[in-house]
Chain A
Amino acid sequence: MTNSARLQWVYAWLLLSPALVLLVTFTHYPAIKSIIASFYSTARGKRQSVYIGLDNYHTLVADPVFWKVLSNNFWYAVWTIPLSIALSLIMALWVNEKLRGLAFLRMAYFTPTVLPLIAVANIWLFFYTPGFGLIDQIRGLFDLPEQNWMGSPNTALYTMIAVAIWKEAGFFMIFYLAALQTIPPSLRDAAAIEGASKVYFFRRVVFPLLMPTTLFVSINAVINSFRLVDHIFVMTEGGPNNASSLLLFYIYETAFKYWDTAYAATLTTVLLMILTVLAIGQFFFLDKRVHYK
């Protein structure tokens, strides 16, 4: 290796190191540490942490709460991902068509995104409150009985889903709106001359041209469906009886409420595996259908 080549090598590493250091200390190292910790027992008092092989995983398979939160998370994802994406697309199409140039209205849709999820949760707390919450007040107008939406095991999860959709749709809409504005109006004219209906034009032209955005948005939506749990802290704390608990919330409880760090590490490993599989699968599945300009 010549001197100058060696120098370049040094430069390369120097430039990479800040990002690398941060990434390794706060992402890679903790992830690997968690995976390792999942094969050990939790240290309690004088008892040292010892290697216990797959014991934690056996516990996990037998843990009804784990299955409960996993299924909750599944339904949470199944509802929030498509609904928030569909809603954001509909809003973007509407804003793009009818409200061209009204930056103020666009901002209005974006507000939920700017607000911290904790603040959003407080707003929705007011909507849901039995008796004098907004929803019950409206129901009252029609002489419908009070309903404790967040307190009932049947509806608690759905109250969380509604908040997440409300929060995410505005954010995704901005991406769709930006993408819609890059579609030249002459394409619409060309399709109109050929007699394509609005629906046909959307299905065959607009939607395919939005595919890169849809891919981006849906990966975000998937990750968020496992990541966004702040509102649960404020609104239901996972209750009643874990009806609205999600995987990440359960991990938090296990680690910092029950201090079973090894079991929390096991749950984290499972969460990591799920996210990895989903991200990769999604990327390969959708990438084939995406037209990049």
Chain B
Amino acid sequence: MVDRPFGQTIQVRNLTKNFGGEDVLSGIDLTFEAGSFTALLGPSGCGKSTALRLISGLEPVSSGQVLIGDTDVTQTAPSARDIAMVFQSYALFPHLNVAENITFGLRVRKTNRSEREDKLRHVADLLGLEKLLDRKPSELSGGQQQRVALGRAIVSGKSIFLMDEPLSNLDAKLRAEMREEIRALQQKLGVTMIYVTHDQVEAVTMADQVVLMNQGRVEQCATPRDLYETPATLFAAKFIGTPPMVTFSTRVLAPDSTSNVTLGLRPEAVQIVSEGPITAMIDHIEYLGADAMLACATANGETVLCRASGSTRMTKGDPVSLSFAPADLHAFAADSGQRLQHIPPEIEAALSFQKPGLQ
């Protein structure tokens, strides 16, 4: 890590984008710390690319502000915002070779020849592109094209990198390699990175901070761990994790409950015990090798998932009793989807009543 990051802080304030009368982004407020790696995560169409394009200035904002460092750049041209960008399709110039693609921006800015050559050599060396400099993009593999796009960003010497799903065209193995490479590079250069992805594994493994978006709004902005452990909304709870959190009504734990609360449990927090607060019957089993995912139908007809060892000999139709640590139980307001700090008292009571049975 660099002592003082080279990157700059980015802030967006009340950022709104309207396309044809429809708010694609509504009132986004975010801070991206200098030198940090932020993933913008969310389902397709939630406005991730739009957010990135507003920050880059490629798309004008409908309202709100973008600040880089301490400067308001809302009306500044993209090229004057100190940003480099890597596009999903790489956006390599098909008629230029690798070297010309990488140095495109240097030529635009009329950097002198020897400096250009130096920078090109340095970047080619960094990314292992030395042997490919004379090739056209059409003569490169997907991974190599990706590297060239990365090279174009690095050579620009900008302090902010914006990436829009840069790995989505690569196969799984290459994606895992590039993930590490990009993360290492970001730390080495100390740039501020905003990385758009719809792949939660990418977001969680690479980022310092994950911004989870849904329908043009920020659902939650947190570290990967916080996002997983304390999802702020039902949407966040059900988006993160494979498989994601299972939610059910309070009647699973307290049959007479009428509270307007949705409860959630991660499958790995649920254990099979001799006598627990939930009695259920195994509905079906998904065998995953090391693990098996047991879908258990509760008495009132809902489903709770339980992650068991792959060696389990349980079968469909077996009765089970399920338990969990109270701290692993999440509660959300059923209407707004917001996380509740406290679980409803009748559930609390039901759990404490069951407690002796646990021991």
Query: In the assembled complex, which residues on chain B have CB atoms less than 8 Å from the CB atom of A105?
Result: none
Q: In the complex, what's the smallest C-beta–C-beta distance from A208 to chain B, in angstroms?
A: 5
Name which of B2-10, B87-95, B165-173, B337-345 contacts chain A: B87-95
A194: chain B residues at CB < 8 Å are: 79, 104-105, 108-109, 156
In this complex, the interface size class of chain B, counting residues with CB under 8 Å from chain A, is 20 to 34
Q: What string of 1s and 0s marks CB contacts (under 8 Å) between B71-103 and chain A?
A: 000000111100111011101011100000000
Main secondary structure of the interface of B (DSSP, over half): mixed
CB distance from B94 to the nearest CB of A (A): 6
Total A-B contacts with CB atoms under 8 angstroms apart: 61
**Assembly CA distance A211 to B85 (angstroms):** 28
Q: CB < 8 Å: which of A191, A195, A209 contacts B95?
A: A209
A16 in the interface (beta carbon within 8 A)? no
* B89 touches which of A184, A196, A205, A211 (Cβ 8 Å): A184
Bound form: Cα–Cα A200–B83 in Å: 20
Taking a contact as CB atoms under 8 Å apart, the answer to whether B95 and A189 are in contact is no
The CA-CA distance from A115 to B93 in the complex, in Å, is: 38
- A108 contacts B by Cβ under 8 Å: no
Which residue of B58, B85, B108 contacts A195 across the interface (Cβ within 8 Å)?
Answer: B108
Residues of A close to B56: CB separation below 8 A:
193
B63 at the interface (CB under 8 A from A): no
Considering the chains assembled together, what is the distance between the CA atoms of A211 and B58 in angstroms?
Answer: 27
A211 to chain B: which residues have CB within 8 Å? 95
Mask of A102-138 contacts with B, CB within 8 angstroms, 1/0:
0000000000000000000000000000000000000
Those of B105-162 within 8 Å (CB) of chain A? 105, 107-109, 138, 152, 156
Given the complex of chains A and B, what is the CA–CA distance between A291 and B87 in angstroms? 23
Question: Max chain A CB contacts within 10 Å: which of B83, B93, B156?
Answer: B93
B108 CB contacts on chain A under 8 angstroms: 191, 194-196, 200
A184-B89, A186-B87, A293-B138 known; A192 and B78 CB under 8 Å? yes
Q: A193–B138 contact, CB under 8 A?
A: no
Q: How many residues of A contact B (CB 8 A)?
A: 19
Bound-state CA distance A31–B28 (Å) is 73
Partner of A190, one of B85, B109, B138: B85
Closest to B107 in A: A204
CB contacts (< 8 Å) of A196 on chain B: these are: 79, 104, 108
Does residue A187 face the partner (Cβ distance < 8 Å to B)?
A: yes
| Nearest chain A residue, comparing its CB with the CB of B138 | A293
**CA–CA, A246 to B188, complex, Å?**
70
Contact B94 A293 (CB under 8 A): yes
Nearest residue (CB) in B for A290 is B95
Contacting residues, chain A, for B84 (C-beta < 8 A): 193
A192 to chain B, nearest CB (A): 5
Contact B95 A192 (CB under 8 A): no
List B38-89 residues whose CB lies under 8 Å from chain A: 56, 58, 77-80, 83-85, 87-89
Distance between Cα atoms of A205 and B93 in the complex (Å): 7
Q: Report the minimum CB–CB distance from A97 to chain B (whole Å).
A: 16
Set A187, A193, A200: member contacting B58, Cβ < 8 A = A193
Residues of B within 8 A of A208 (CB): 95
Mask: chain A, 191-232; 1 = CB below 8 Å from B; 0 = not: 111111000100011001101000000000000000000000
Docked Cα-Cα span, A204 to B107, in Å, equals 11
Cβ 8 A contact of A189, one of B58, B77, B109: B58
**Nearest-neighbor residue (CB-CB) of B93 within chain A:** A205
Chain A nearest CB: distance from B77 CB in Å?
A: 8
B156 cross-chain contacts in A, Cβ below 8 A: 194
Least distance between B155 CB and chain A CB atoms (Å)? 10
**Contact (Cβ within 8 A) B104 A187:** no
Whether A193 contacts B85 by the Cβ 8 Å rule is yes
User: Taking A195-B109, A196-B108, A293-B138 as contacts, is the C-beta distance between A189 and B87 under 8 angstroms?
Assistant: yes
Interface string of B252-290 (1 = CB under 8 A from A): 000000000000000000000000000000000000000
In the A-B complex, the 9 residue pairs with the closest CB atoms = A195-B79, A194-B105, A291-B95, A186-B91, A190-B91, A196-B108, A208-B95, A186-B87, A193-B85
Please report A residues at the B interface, Cβ cutoff 8 Å: 184, 186-187, 189-196, 200, 204-205, 208-209, 211, 291, 293
Additional A-B contact list (5), CB under 8 Å, known A193-B83, A196-B108, A293-B138 = A192-B77, A193-B78, A195-B109, A204-B104, A209-B95
A-B contact pairs, 26 of them (CB 8 A): A184-B89, A186-B91, A189-B87, A190-B85, A190-B87, A190-B93, A191-B104, A191-B108, A192-B78, A193-B56, A193-B79, A193-B83, A193-B85, A194-B79, A194-B104, A194-B109, A195-B79, A195-B80, A195-B105, A195-B109, A196-B108, A200-B108, A204-B104, A204-B107, A205-B95, A209-B94
